[in-house]
Chains A and B, each alone.
Chain A
Amino acid sequence: SQQGEEDPQALSIQEGENATMNCSYKTSINNLQWYRQNSGRGLVHLILIRSNEREKHSGRLRVTLDTSKKSSSLLITASRAADTASYFCATDSGGGADGLTFGKGTHLIIQP
């Protein structure tokens, strides 16, 4: 079963704008990760945030985590057409190598 939900389910913005996607989950977690999936490159890991972290940056990506609300957000700044993809959050609740629990995803479309 899915751990959580991303919202919105779909998002369409103009190139250059910022895109924000949210993820909620149900149980306690060890790590939360964001993945991107498009037809050209399959499922690609973007960024990981640990349960004791509140914010993390990687290039144009910014991830926040609020464990009290069991939620995370992914911000993509200065969006590009190549950012068009589905974005998923995934959680793991154990230590070490662990099966991931994915949300349903947000489909992001960047209009040129």
Chain B
Amino acid sequence: GAGVSQTPSNKVTEKGKYVELRCDPISGHTALYWYRQSLGQGPEFLIYFQGTGAADDSGLPNDRFFAVRPEGSVSTLKIQRTERGDSAVYLCASSSGLAEYDEQFFGPGTRLTVL
């Protein structure tokens, strides 16, 4: 079946520009997560949605980062005034949101490069 998909797979932008990264979760999954992975590091949690609402946004590094999930399915991570330090792979994951333990299924990621 279809897994988590992310678009674009690669994004190159210039410092100061605005970018949007999209995540399509597995159909029916109510929980959606965004992570960021820098080179040589493990993924770092950014934000978690349960349905349409952000249940935990404690990982967002600053107010340049924002994410939405208006209909409880597709999510968009938005980064304003990009900086070179934002360069990383942005990973999205989804889970059913139902069980006490809920396996997260990860997408292939979007590689963001800020020049």
Residues of chain B within 8 A (CB-CB) of A104 are: 40-42
Number of A-B contacts (CB under 8 A): 63
Residues of B within 8 A of A44 (CB): 106
Q: Contact: B106 with A43, CB < 8 Å?
A: yes
**One of B11-19, B44-52, B74-82 contacting the partner:** B44-52
* Residues 80-114 of B at the A interface (beta carbon under 8 Å): 91, 93, 95, 97, 99-109
Interface size on B, residues (CB 8 A): 31
Contacts of B106 in A (CB 8 A): 42-44
Q: Is the CB of A99 within 8 A of B107?
A: no
Give the distance in Å from the alpha carbon of A59 to the alpha carbon of B24 in the complex.
31
Q: Are B41 and A100 in contact (CB under 8 A)?
A: no
Chain B, residue nearest A89 (CB): B42
Are A88's CB and B43's CB within 8 A? yes
Q: Is there contact, CB below 8 Å, between A45 and B104? A: yes
Nearest B residue to A40 via CB reads: B108
Residue A99 contacts which of B33, B42, B100, B105 (CB distance < 8 angstroms)? B33
In the docked arrangement, what's the CA distance between A39 and B90, Å? 14
Residue of A nearest to B106 (CB): A43
- Cα A100 to Cα B95 with chains together (Å): 12
Chain A residues, Cβ within 8 Å of B41: 2, 104-105
- Asked whether A48 is an interface residue with its Cβ less than 8 Å from the other chain, the reply is yes
CB contact between B102 and one of A1, A88, A97, A101 (< 8 Å): that residue: A97
Could you list which residues of chain A lie within 8 angstroms of chain B, going by C-beta atoms?
Answer: 1-2, 30-31, 42-45, 48, 50, 88, 90, 95-105
